[in-house]
Amino acid sequence: MKIVGLTGGIGSGKTTVAKEFSKLGVPIYIADDEAKKLMNSSKTIQRELVALFGEEAYKDQELNRPYLAKLIFNNEALLQKMNAIVHPKVADHFKNWLKKQDAPYIIKEVAILFENGSYKQCDYVITVTAAIETRKERLLKRDVTTVAKIEAIMNNQWPDQKKIERSQFVIYNDILEDTIVQVQKTHNSILEDIASL
């Protein structure tokens, strides 16, 4: 079974693209969602995060996301320490999930696929991209946030061009109708490539 990494900058619409692949019967693993679940359910992660961030890391047995976001925002060292706790557990969870799948390929959606090196475990990579202004508009609608905060997050991620150069497929996600067509084409190309191996 082939592993297809799906990535893209914040606001590019990775989740929208993942949903379209799901409609074609492709199993989808959304790493960020699974990380969030594990941060709430794994006692080991909870213990280690409390040791790192203090008792306030959890509030009423739930991860105190605003508190953590404030601490790790613009603090690369602290972010790396948190990732060192969470990422290995997500990797184990993914391996177990993978064993249960039955399909020619699966999609693993990871926001920082290139930045954290997990693209090395992928047979193919799809980068989702969209115009910067479109991305900002989506994020302002989705979250109560500011343009300055969005730009700070974008500046911490690899630029699209750098991701595209290392990807086998690119999906331009500006207009949904076009995106759906591109997803179908990409799906067909991956299946053809797998069949030819």
Query: Which residues are annotated as part of the binding site for ATP?
Result: 11-16
Q: What span, in angstroms and rounded, lies between the C-alpha atoms of 191 and 28?
A: 16
Cβ count within 10 A of residue 39: 22
- Asked whether 125 and 4 are in contact (CB, 8 A), the reply is yes
Query: How many angstroms from the chain centroid is the CA of residue 142?
Result: 17
Q: Which residues contact 126 (CB under 8 A, 6 or more apart)?
A: 4, 5, 6, 7, 17, 107, 167, 168, 169, 170, 171, 186
Residue 190 has which token pair?
A: 């991956």
Q: What span, in angstroms and rounded, lies between the C-alpha atoms of 117 and 91?
A: 12
DSSP state of 28: E
Binding site, by residue number, is: 11-16
C-alpha closest to that of 172 among 16, 22, 2, 3: 16
Helix/strand/coil for 167:
coil
Q: What span, in angstroms and rounded, lies between the C-alpha atoms of 156 and 159?
A: 9
Helix/strand/coil for 108:
strand
